[in-house]
Structure 1
Amino acid sequence: MIKKGIETRFVAFLDILGFKELVKKIEAESEDGQDYERVTWALDFLHEESKESNGHHDLNIYELTSDGLLEKELGDPRLNYISDCIIISAEGSFDGFKAICNKVTKLSIQGACAGIYMRGGITYGKIYHHGPILFGTAYQRALELEDGASTPRVLVDDVVCEVLSEHIGVFPLNGHAIRADDDGKKYLLNYPLGYESGFDSSWIDTLLRVKASILYFLNKFDVRVCGFGEELRRLDQFCYWKERYSLSLNFDGGDEHVLKKYIWLKKEFNRTLRRYSRVINARHQMRISPYGVQSGPRIAPISWNGRIWAPEKELGRYR
């Protein structure tokens, strides 16, 4: 039984980007559109996750009791949400840090596959987090980190590395989960190796799904892209934008401020491809084709081709 009180825990605060504008759009249109389905799906997922994890990528442990084996999540993660804000805490141990990183990654990847992106921060400190009631300096610090994240990333506070200094170099406190961004701030990698969404059976499929989402928003918010021209229609055969976002796509908008967030996501996606090119391009084996390129599944990086955002073309195929 958990004794209620103030505890020292790892705490994450996440914010769903563009949520207010999305809700306004839904209210102005109808409950029959894809945006309504995406938002209600995301909130349903959070609601279920706050009551009992859905099992996907969970870190389970088992405790032998008089009634048999009791299944629990490693690190005692607790989750609350309201509207577009998500608060997660976990015990103040290395197991707790593993648990909170796992939970944050799980939510962010699931959201990205549905075109919903998050930013936030993870810190360490005092918090009262029992049921729907939470308060504490760690919660306030996590709020500050989220506000300073600026791009769709989850910052990792310096105090986390100080507290867990003896575990530096052990996953997730290594380069396969955390990196320093161009501004020097540490953040959780958006697409860690091997972490597929609940929609997909492989990491490759998840990367392709996320790539289609990023491509849609890059073209949607770039003022240089107008209408739904032939090139975008061809690309939609790969991306399935109409099925996910709207049957009547319109790229006549543009918002340079919002576009910057998706430019960062594009960079993060391309960095992932470069970092794990050996795995992505050659099924763990370096096989050279007669054309001088690696064989195996190929995922081209995202680039601006002078007219639209699209995958770079390789071997006559888009992927």
Structure 2
Amino acid sequence: MYQLETRAVAFLDILGFSDLTAQAEKEIVAQEKFEGLKTVIDSHVRWDNDRISSAVPDILKPSYLFISDSIILSVPMTSQKYDGLLIVAIKSIEIAHKVLEMGFLLRGGIAIGNVRHEPKNIFGTGYIEAYKLEQVVSAPRIVLSEEAEAHMRTATSSNSPLKDHGIWIEEDEHVRLDTLHPHYIRDIHQHGRIEHAFGQYRAHISMSLGHRDAKARGKWRAMRAQFNRALDLHRIDVTPIK
């Protein structure tokens, strides 16, 4: 039987992954970078749920798919205490940090709708909406669908309004995630970790502003603007990029 449930689902695309794949067929350095990125993402998909608090029911831990340059994750919207949209949003931000730390950008869409998420496949209009939304997003951003945005404005998680979680940015016609929110950096409790991570981001962005491809340069210019905004918003002691 074709059973569906209401889930929050994110469709995330690693920008530049396809080019890296092509380069890896010819260059040893690109091969090493490709394997490193693949290992980081594959490890996140395989082991992320092991790091989630045992207080969160297993049914509410994200289901993942990692296919080529795309990462798909979804969570049921059935809990009275934990909100599936919030979980998907936070996990998407964590992935964005990991990807940028390796010099790549992330683009995506998050939707709420009917989904059947199997271990090796995913179906349903919720997934299709997230996929279509990602296709029209100007990079690099992760934006909410209209239904997801409406839910964010009215729902609560653990008695706290979703809209007050500080990870949403209103921009143009969409609400997007604050993918540079420092609270979701890996190993956040290490002394100086935030400044170190943003120093790496700064180096990757600055170097990529001279990318040979005009479209790629445009994406990195957009990330420069987001980076400088994040430094000011979160009061991070790193020099802005001119």
Q: Same fold (TM over 0.5)?
A: yes
Distance 2:219 2:199 in 1: 19
- Note if 1:61 corresponds to 2:50: no
Distance 1:167 1:212 in 2: 38
Structure 2 residue identity aligned to 1:26: A
Other structure's SS at 1:151 match: coil
- Note if 1:81 corresponds to 2:66: yes
Give 1:112-131 correspondences, 5 Å limit: 112-131=100-119
Deviates more, 1:110-119 or 1:94-103: 94-103
> 8, 11, 16: which is aligned to 1:10?
8
Sort the Cα spacing of 1:5 and 1:44 in 2 relative to 1 into closer, same or farther, 3 A.
farther
Higher relative contact order (CA 8 A, sep 6+): 2
Contact kept, 8 Å, 1:12 with 1:142, in 2: the verdict is yes
- Note if 1:259 corresponds to 2:198: no
Distance 1:15 1:161 in 2: 20
Structure 2 residue identity aligned to 1:210: Y
Quote the sequence identity (%). 26
- Residue of structure 2 in register with 1:46 after alignment: 41
Deviates more, 1:192-201 or 1:119-128: 192-201
Aligned-pair CA distance for 1:199: 9.0
Contiguous gaps of at least 5 residues in structure 2 = none
- Residue of structure 2 in register with 1:276 after alignment: 234
Sort the Cα spacing of 1:270 and 1:171 in 2 relative to 1 into closer, same or farther, 3 A.
farther
- Note if 1:206 corresponds to 2:204: no
- Residue of structure 2 in register with 1:242 after alignment: none
Sort the Cα spacing of 1:171 and 1:258 in 2 relative to 1 into closer, same or farther, 3 A.
farther
- Residue of structure 2 in register with 1:294 after alignment: none
Sort the Cα spacing of 1:104 and 1:74 in 2 relative to 1 into closer, same or farther, 3 A.
farther
Contact kept, 8 Å, 1:16 with 1:117, in 2: the verdict is yes
Distance 1:74 1:216 in 2: 42
Aligned-pair CA distance for 1:144: 0.9
Structure 2 residue identity aligned to 1:44: T
Q: Which has the larger share of helix?
A: 2
Sort the Cα spacing of 1:172 and 1:203 in 2 relative to 1 into closer, same or farther, 3 A.
farther
Please say which structure displays the higher CA radius of gyration.
Answer: 1
Distance 1:60 1:148 in 2: 35
Contact kept, 8 Å, 1:7 with 1:128, in 2: the verdict is yes
Contact kept, 8 Å, 1:129 with 1:135, in 2: the verdict is yes
Structure 2 residue identity aligned to 1:90: V
Deviates more, 1:38-47 or 1:114-123: 38-47
- Residue of structure 1 in register with 2:126 after alignment: 138
- Residue of structure 2 in register with 1:148 after alignment: 136
Distance 2:85 2:27 in 1: 42
Contact kept, 8 Å, 1:171 with 1:177, in 2: the verdict is no
- Note if 1:158 corresponds to 2:107: no
Distance 2:103 2:189 in 1: 15
Sort the Cα spacing of 1:102 and 1:9 in 2 relative to 1 into closer, same or farther, 3 A.
same
Distance 1:45 1:5 in 2: 32
Sort the Cα spacing of 1:257 and 1:161 in 2 relative to 1 into closer, same or farther, 3 A.
closer
> 153, 166, 179: which is aligned to 2:169?
179
Other structure's SS at 2:66 match: strand
Aligned-pair CA distance for 1:164: 4.2
Other structure's SS at 2:60 match: coil
Distance 1:25 1:15 in 2: 18
- Residue of structure 2 in register with 1:216 after alignment: 207
Structure 1 residue ranges (4+ consecutive) displaced by more than 6 angstroms after TM superposition: none
Distance 2:206 2:57 in 1: 39
Distance 2:67 2:132 in 1: 18
TM-score, reference length from structure 2: 0.87
Structure 1 residue identity aligned to 2:69: D
Distance 2:231 2:59 in 1: 30
> 181, 186, 194: which is aligned to 1:197?
186
Sort the Cα spacing of 1:171 and 1:81 in 2 relative to 1 into closer, same or farther, 3 A.
farther
Distance 2:170 2:214 in 1: 25
Distance 2:42 2:213 in 1: 31
Sort the Cα spacing of 1:195 and 1:84 in 2 relative to 1 into closer, same or farther, 3 A.
same
Distance 2:177 2:188 in 1: 21
